[in-house]
């Protein structure tokens, strides 16, 4: 596969699994067939946390095998904390997990496909590319 490196955020996965016939599902299906998908371990944890049954957890675990699972570097959390701090100084309080996702995507050269608008605030002060 020679497509782009895409990190699909939890918000997209949740909508994708719940609304299989939506426009978003078509976009995700296109990305899945054309691009390289990268999934940080924190997103797997978020999906498992939100599962409604053991069956859903099983589906999530199977789904993991299909993608590139990425993990943090030695200073990823420090960078995420710094990003959160810098946003807070500008009057923007963004969830630390989302700052972490932005940093890990940056470290691995991934674009972020998300439904969360606050990633736009993160993009204002750090170099990330977003797909909506």
Closest CA to 30 of 12, 10, 56: 12
Check residue 2 and give its pLDDT. Answer: 63
Instruction: Report how far residue 119's alpha carbon sits from residue 64's, in angstroms, rounded to the nearest whole number.
Output: 24
User: pLDDT (tens digit, 9 = 90+) per residue, 91-103?
Assistant: 999 999 999 999 9
Rounded to two decimals, the pTM is 0.90
Strands lying side by side in the sheet with 5-8: 68-70, 36-40, 5-8, 111-113, 130-131
Check residue 61 and give its pLDDT. Answer: 84
* Cβ atoms 99, 122 nearer than 8 A: yes
Check residue 108 and give its pLDDT. Answer: 96
User: pLDDT (tens digit, 9 = 90+) per residue, 103-132?
Assistant: 999 999 999 999 999 999 999 999 999 998
- More confident of the two residues 3 and 75: 75
Give me the numbers of helices (H) and strands (E) for the chain, helices first please. Answer: 7, 5
User: pLDDT (tens digit, 9 = 90+) per residue, 34-68?
Assistant: 999 999 999 999 999 999 999 989 988 887 788 89
For residue 39, the surrounding DSSP H or E stretch is: strand 36-40
Domains of the chain: 5-131 (3.40.50.1010)
* Token representation of residue 5: 């490196």
């Amino acid at each position: 596969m020679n497509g782009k490196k895409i990190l699909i955020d939890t918000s997209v996965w949740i909508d994708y699994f719940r609304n299989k016939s939506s426009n978003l599902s078509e976009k995700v299906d296109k990305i899945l067939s054309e691009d390289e998908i990268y999934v940080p371990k924190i997103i797997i944890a978020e999906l498992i946390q939100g599962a409604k049954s053991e069956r859903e957890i099983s589906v999530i675990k199977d789904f993991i095998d299909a993608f590139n699972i990425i993990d943090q570097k030695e200073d990823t959390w420090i960078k995420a904390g710094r990003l959160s701090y810098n946003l807070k100084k500008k009057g923007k309080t963004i969830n630390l997990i989302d700052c972490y996702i932005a940093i890990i995507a940056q470290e691995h050269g991934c674009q972020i496909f998300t439904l969360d608008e606050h990633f736009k605030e993160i993009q204002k002060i750090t170099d990330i590319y977003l797909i909506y």
